[in-house]
Amino acid sequence: MREAEVRRLLAANLLCALAVVLATLGPAFLLDGFSVLGTHLTWLCVCSVCVATLNIVLHLVLKPNQSPKRRSFGHKISRFLKCCIYFFMSCILFHAIIVLYGAPLIELVTETFLFAVLLSTFTTLQCLCLLGPNIQAWIRVFSKNGAMSIWESSLQITSVCSILGAWFGAFPIPLDWDRPWQVWPISCSLGATFGYMAGLIIAPLWIHWNRKQLTYKSR
Amino acid sequence: MRLRSGVFASSCLLVQALGVALFLRGFFPVPVRSVPRREARADPPAEPAPPGPGMVSNWTKIPPPLFKKVVIVLIDALRDDFVFGPKGKQFMPYTTQVVEKGTSYSFIAEAKPPTVTMPRIKALMTGSIPGFIDVVVNLNSPALLDDNLIWQAKTAGKRIIFYGDDTWVKLFPKHFVEYDGTTSFFVSDFTEVDDNVTRHLDRVLKREDWDLLILHYLGLDHIGHMTGPNSPLVGPKLREMDNILKKIHISLISKEEASLPNLLVVCGDHGMSETGSHGGSSEGEVHTPLLFISSAFGKRSAPPAQPEHVQQTDLASTLAIGLGLPISRNSVGNLILPVVGGKTMREQLRFVHLNGFQLSRLLQENTPAYEKDPGYEHFKIAEKSHGNWIKLYLEGNNSEILLNLGKKVLKQYLEALKTLSSSLSRQVAQYDMYSMMVGTVIIMEVLILLLLSVPKALSKRAEFEVPLSPPLFSLLFYLMCLMLCAVHVIVCTSAESLCYFCSMSWLTAVGVMMLISALMCGILSAVAKILENYRLPPKNPVASSYSWSEIDVLILAGTIGHVLSLGASSFIEEEHQTWYFLINTLCLVLCQELCRNNFLLKECDPQHSTNVKQNFDSIEESSECKNIDIPAASNSKLGKATSSSEFMKGSDKWISLATPWIILICCRLLRSLNQTGVQWAHRPDFGHWLTSFEHKSELSFLAAVSLLMIFVLVQRRCSLVSKIAMALGLLGVYSYRSAIGNVTFPWQHGGKDISKGITEARFVYVFVLGIVFTGTKDLLKSQVISADSSTKSTGLWEVYSGLVLLAALLFRPHNLPVLVFCLLIQTMMTKYIWIPLKFDAAQITIMHYWFGQAFFYFQGNSNGIATVDISAGFVGLDSYVEIPAIFLTAFATYAGPFLWAVHLLCYLSSEVRRNSAAVGHGCFCYALMRSIPVAIYVVLVTGLRYHLFIWSVFSPKLLYEGVHVFITAAVCLFFTTMDQNHSYKVQD
């Protein structure tokens, strides 16, 4: 049971990583003059959309958190709307944090916001898929030893890795190398993406190696 | 000897300050300089008087010019082999032909590092060797104020035209009758920069209304930077230069009349290394060609074997003689004799005498024992024989013997000149490595000692045994002393260069050596002790159980990351970004910590309270509780784990949750107040908007509101008297600013005459002193009469508010919000974060240090010299008085870190009830936080001393770091005196 679940997690994560790679390489065939550095905004959109769709599809297919009772259609709609609002709010929150970190307030708003959307896709969207619009559960998962399944552990690891990637991505900005990837927000979004992919790969491996120590207590 | 950690830390920091001072003295050689040029118009010396009565030489004036027009073509990064090597033969045919067969003299001029354009131009034009101290002395004024060739030429009425690198225009403002500066900003621009110079050439060469034409070509340097010296682009560029030289030379020859010949000088400011960069001291960077082309010189029959080596500084003296100008006072150059070789023997002797006289005067002004200098002795002998020669000459003796005798005198003079200038340039050009090494050793030893004593110094008792006597009487100590003294003797006797540490008295040197060996022995004994403890099985499990919270990880990573970032010049230029980034992250981590404390603790209350009991009873590991992570209760175990049920209630909880966000917003606002650094410094910022003239009313409003806020934030813990004094003082600050015309009172609309505001400023000083005095009185009372901590904390707060008032006076009005936000953040952090979350003293100290650093940059400071606000040193002073001016400027510059440090002291001494060793811990951590970056940076700078940016980026930062160490040492001493009286309570 456990082994099978870990394998399923691995497959799902690899699919997500593949989605990022596809989002980088794919549009080059369809769009003229597409490149990650040159048309960064397009790439941000494509990447966010790809990862988001795949996450939602995977969530619908795999159903990692089986809810025992069937819920009414109205309930599902309200839940969905709530999720949308939460996602939007998380984008706003990320945008605010990025501006507080020193991003320009008025210029480059689109860039900053799309970067915030990308970060939300990597972190909040997964939370919404897995935990639903339930803040209490989020806080539980993101405190130490709060995860209750391997899916939640994986969620922890990928989110933290994406955020850390974005954080480290800011380091090269002050260097005076005048490289195209030092332009705001390319280094940060690339950092976040690399962090996300690293998290996706690390998570199953980490769970596999620590499977003896990991004891998830049920609610 | 038992020492408390505060005392230990302050003494360590004092020793470190000594090391830093020694290092700085070695790193920044004191420049050779003469009196300022305004007083430099001394009469030129006459020819040496012939011995015996009756005869006087009639040559008392400066000799007339030898050349009519002089053209200087400076080609940036022209390496010697570009002209004299195979490349020159291939690409510069005309120049090669002139060098080999024409009427020219060619030399290889050696440049001194830093081989960067601006100091090189200074060297070429003043003949002196510019050091970094020059930059500091000429603070904020890029213009060259020393005596120089251009200034002499301008005063002599010569008309100078300049085209090329705009560094010249900045160095010599208003010196040129016509100029066109090109910027060297776009390194990838190879042709445009040079075309911008050449396009003027045809027109200027036709004209007659100039005496000195200077052309500075940048293209070759840019090619070097981009593609290196062997790139295919170099050839065409050299050919272009060759054509330009040909054009100039032909035009000069065609214009020549019978009276005086013209002169064309071709030189490079520095060379380039094999990779195409420059700044260091490799051979390719240092060797540049120097060509003198004039029809005055004799035609050469055979091509010269190898060009002679001269110093770059020699050009200034040679040109001064050639143009008939006095030699610049600070020049250390020698006259290049072949250039004047065509003149009569009497004239030649006259020229070298002028040069020698100028050099010996410079030596007299800079060395006390100049009479013993071999160069000076030689010069005196040569001068005497010169006098004898003139006697013979004036007697009408005109034979072959006189000529030979003259040659002998000339040789004597040249010998003297060489010795003189080498002993002068020895004083500047190089780093005093020995002093630097001694300083570094002291700094590193102190750092290691501090690091080794971390576990003990942060223990609950905050004191430890310093084994002073065993190492002091050990054989090792004496052996080390002897060895170091022997090394000292060997180094000092063998060193050719001037060394500061060697010039100190023997007693001091031996003292320093003893200090070094004592520190070494201390380190060794500490290591031995640690190993001993390590071998013994740990007695209590507490020592091994240590869990890291996110805050600890961040603090450690931030400290290490910041120290590592000091190795990159861009990170030093943009260091403010590092600090802003770190404090932002700190706030977010604090926010997470608060969330956890507020939302999660309820769930595990039962478990938690048992934990608390365990903590108090048996002091055990406290992480059994699954759902919480108790922040590392690192040393003071009673700190953290108190019951959380009464953590916070109601509205307080929400304010506390909002605190990090408010702080983040404050920091964001402050960040846009002053754009600093280098890359984004030109961006429009709020501070500039406020200081512009049309926004005076907004500035006045902001200043008034800020002063009001300062009063509100500061007064709540002051006594009544101080409150009134504070209010009056802040009013005085506003009236001072309105008196000097920065802000206006609402009722005055017309133009009021602007005064220096001395009365108002002194009025404020009286209140500052009054408040500080009241505070000190309270402190003394608490020290002497009773150990009542409330008197003490009131006293400390009063001292703090006095300093805030002083800062309010010295800050420029648009910076007053910085002070407000500083106070606001401190208040909020204390009330809602530090006290409820119960961080230990070490964490709080480091947070204070980080915020202090960030506020240093929020004030508008940077790591460049230019942002120091010197006007603060003149507040309330009629004229420049050195000591108060330095004190006030230092205070205004370091107000951010200083105020945070004093606030730390206020906070920690109010925490004494909870943790009696808090002040000691704080002092130790503060000293450690300062000594880590300074020690690493000193090593980095020593390694990077030939870096391209050493003078522009690394040296200013080194000065800032050094001054910060001195200030921190003072703060730590203050900490230690405050820590005095409850040390006895700790022991029982």
> Does B646 have pLDDT greater than 50?
no
Residue B806: pLDDT band with limits 50, 70, 90: very high
d(CA B615, CA B637): 7
Contact yes or no for A143 and B580 at CB 8 A: no
CA distance A7 to chain B (A): 27
Binary contact (B580, A102; C-beta < 8 A): yes
Alpha-carbon distance values, B305 to B84, B100, B302, B643, B843 (Å)? 11, 10, 9, 90, 70
Residue in A99, A105, A145 nearest the CB of B626? A145
Q: With an 8 Å Cβ cutoff, are A101 and B584 in contact?
A: yes
Instruction: Choose among A195, A122, A203, A206: nearest CA to A164.
Output: A195
pLDDT at B398: 72
Distance from CA of A200 to the nearest CA of B (A): 22
Out of B295-304, B604-613, B624-633, least confident range = B624-633
DSSP-derived 3-state class of residue B74 = strand
Q: How far is A218 from chain B (nearest CA, A)?
A: 13
DSSP B539: S
Alpha-carbon distance of B918 to B793, in angstroms, equals 14
Decide: helix, strand or coil at residue B816: helix
Q: How large a percentage of chain B has pLDDT more than 90?
A: 31
CA distance B27 to B131: 10
Question: Does B983 score more than 90 pLDDT?
Answer: no
- The answer to whether B271 touches B284, Cβ cutoff 8 Å, is yes
Q: In this predicted structure, what is the pLDDT of residue B642?
A: 41
pLDDT for the residue numbered B148: 87
Q: What is the DSSP letter of B297?
A: S
Task: Report the alpha-carbon distance of residue B271 to residue B285 in Å, rounded.
Answer: 4
* A143 chain-B contacts, CB cut-off 8 A: 596, 600, 627-629
CB-based contact A100 B573, cutoff 8 Å = no
Measured between alpha carbons, how far is A6 from A211 in angstroms, rounded to an integer? 10
pLDDT over 80 (residue B286): yes
Give the pLDDT band of residue B628 (cuts 50, 70, 90): very low
Angle between the N-to-C axes of helices B955-978 and B895-910, in degrees from 0 to 180, rounded to the nearest 10: 20
DSSP-based three-state secondary structure for B310: strand
User: Between chains, do A143 and B629 touch, taking CB under 8 Å as contact?
Assistant: yes
pLDDT computed for residue B635 by the predictor: 38
Average pLDDT, chain A: 86
Q: Give the residue on A whose Cα is nearest the Cα of B672.
A: A102
Cis peptide bond upstream of B114, omega within 30? yes
DSSP B831: I
Pairing of strands B212-217, B160-165: parallel
Test mutation, B186, B664, B862, chain A, max A CBs within 10 A: B664
| Chain segment A120-174, per-residue pLDDT in tens | 999 999 888 888 888 878 877 877 677 778 888 888 899 999 999 999 999 998 8
Q: How many residues are there in chain B?
A: 988
Give tens-digit pLDDT for B760-787: 899 999 999 999 999 998 888 887 776 6
Contact A102 B577 (CB under 8 A): yes
| Interchain CB distance below 8 Å, A144 and B665 | no
Give the whole-angstrom CA distance, residue A83 versus residue B188: 52
CB-based contact A174 B577, cutoff 8 Å? yes
Q: Please tell me which of A64-78, B150-164, B495-509 the model is most confident about, judged by mean pLDDT.
A: B150-164
Instruction: Determine whether the interchain pair A175/B570 forms a contact, defined as Cβ–Cβ distance below 8 Å.
Output: yes
Contact flag A146-B581 (C-beta cutoff 8 Å): no
Q: Give the residue among B414, B388, B413, B383 at the shortest CA–CA distance from B401.
A: B388
For chain B, helix (H) and strand (E) counts, in that order, are 42, 10
Distance CA A91, CA A97 (A): 10
Q: Tokens 């540490």 — which residue? A: B501
d(CA B55, CA B49): 8
**How close A121 comes to chain B (CA, Å)?**
20
Helix count and strand count (H, E) for chain A = 9, 0
**What's the whole-number mean pLDDT along residues B405-421?**
89
Q: Is the pLDDT of residue B374 over 80?
A: yes
Q: Report how far residue A151's alpha carbon sits from residue B659's, in angstroms, rounded to the nearest whole number.
A: 33
Q: What is the pLDDT of residues B573-614, one digit of tens each?
A: 899 999 999 999 999 999 988 888 877 665 544 444 434 333
Interface test with B, best of A101, A140, A182, A218 (most B CBs within 10 A): A101
Report the gap between the CA of B534 and the closest CA in chain A (Å): 29
d(CA B698, CA A60): 58
Nearest CA distance, B857 vs chain A (angstrom): 14
Q: Please state the rounded mean pLDDT for residues A184-199.
A: 92
Q: Are B855 and B824 in contact (CB under 8 A)?
A: no
Digit-coded pLDDT (tens) for B49-98: 777 666 666 777 788 888 989 999 999 989 998 998 888 888 999 998 88
What's the confidence (pLDDT) of residue B655? 87
**Residues pairing with B290 in the sheet:** B107, B267
Does B132 have pLDDT greater than 80? no
Of B568, B600, B629, which has the smallest distance from its Cβ to A175's Cβ? B568
- Chain A / chain B CB contacts < 8 angstroms: 54
Tokens read off for B783: 């020290």
Has residue B543 got a pLDDT over 60?
A: no
Residues of B within 8 A of A167 (CB-CB) are: 585
Two tokens at B7?
Answer: 């005392």
CB contact under 8 A, B628 and A143: yes
Q: Are B222 and B193 in contact (CB under 8 A)?
A: yes
Whether B18 shows a pLDDT value over 90: the answer reads: yes
- Position B623 scores a pLDDT of 34
Give the pLDDT score at B169.
87
Q: Specify the residue for token string 């990597």.
A: A122
Helix residue spans in B395-474 (DSSP H): 400-425, 433-452, 454-457, 469-472
> Which chain A residue has the Cα nearest residue B548?
A144
- For B526, residues 6+ apart whose C-beta sits below 8 A from its C-beta are B449, B452, B453
**Model pLDDT for residues B194-243, shown as the tens digit of each residue:** 888 899 999 998 888 899 999 999 889 888 877 778 888 888 999 999 99
Calpha distance B984→B203 (Å, rounded): 87
Looking at every residue in chain B, the average pLDDT score rounds to 82
* 3-state DSSP helix/strand/coil % of chain A, to nearest 5: 70, 0, 30
Instruction: Round to the nearest angstrom and report the end-to-end CA distance of chain B.
Output: 18
Per-residue pLDDT for B734 more than 70?
A: yes
What is the arithmetic mean of pLDDT over A55-74?
74
| Rg (chain B; Cα; Å) | 34
Helix axes B345-366, B374-394, angle to 10 degrees: 150
Instruction: Give me the pLDDT at residue A70, please.
Output: 64
Burial-class residue B451 by CB neighbours within 10 Å (0-12, 13-18, 19+): middle
Mutant choice from A143, A168, A178, A213 vs B, greatest count of B C-beta within 10 A = A143
C-alpha B270/C-alpha B285 separation (Å) is: 6
Q: What percent of chain B has pLDDT over 70?
A: 85
Determine which of B613-627, B692-706, B710-724, B890-904 has the lowest per-residue pLDDT on average: B613-627
Q: What is the dihedral of CA B689, B691, B694, B700, to 10 degrees?
A: 110
- Comparing CB atoms, the residue among B568, B596, B677 nearest residue A143 is B596
Per-residue confidence band for B981, with pLDDT thresholds at 50, 70 and 90: low
Q: What share of chain B is helix, strand, coil (3-state, %, to 5)?
A: 60, 5, 35
Above 60 in pLDDT, residue B140? no
Supply angle C-alpha B405, B408, B413, rounded to 5: 130
Contact status, residue B966 vs residue B17, Cβ threshold 8 Å: yes
Give the bridge partners for B3, in sequence order: B464
Distance (Å, whole) CA B319 – CA B292: 10
Of residues B372 and B323, the one with the higher pLDDT is: B323
| Contact yes or no for A105 and B584 at CB 8 A | no
Rounded Cα distance between B926 and B568, Å, is 25
Residue B175 per-residue DSSP state: -
pLDDT at A60: 84
* pLDDT score recorded for residue B538: 54
3-state secondary structure of B373: coil
Instruction: Lowest mean pLDDT of A84-93, B228-237, B459-468, B503-512, name the range.
Output: B459-468
pLDDT surpasses 60 at B38: no
The band of B301, judged by pLDDT with boundaries at 50, 70 and 90, is low
Position B607 scores a pLDDT of 43
Contact B874, B885 (CB under 8 A): yes
| Cα(A123)–Cα(A119) distance, integer angstroms | 6
At A212, give phi and psi (nearest 5°). -70, -40
Report the distance separating Cα B151 and Cα B633, nearest Å.
68
Reported ipTM: the value is: 0.93
Q: Among candidates A60, A151, A165, which has minimal Cα distance to A122?
A: A165
Q: Are strands B2-4 and B463-465 parallel, antiparallel or unpaired?
A: antiparallel
Rounded CA-CA distance A37/A77 in Å is: 39
Given a cut of 60, is residue B344 above it in pLDDT? yes
Residue B595's closest chain A neighbor by CA? A139
C-beta atoms of A146 and B627 within 8 A: yes
Q: Would you state the pLDDT for residue B363?
A: 85
Q: Note the residue count of chain A.
A: 219
DSSP, residue by residue, B324-340: T-PPPTT------GGGG
Task: Say whether B600 and A139 touch across the interface (CB within 8 A).
Answer: yes
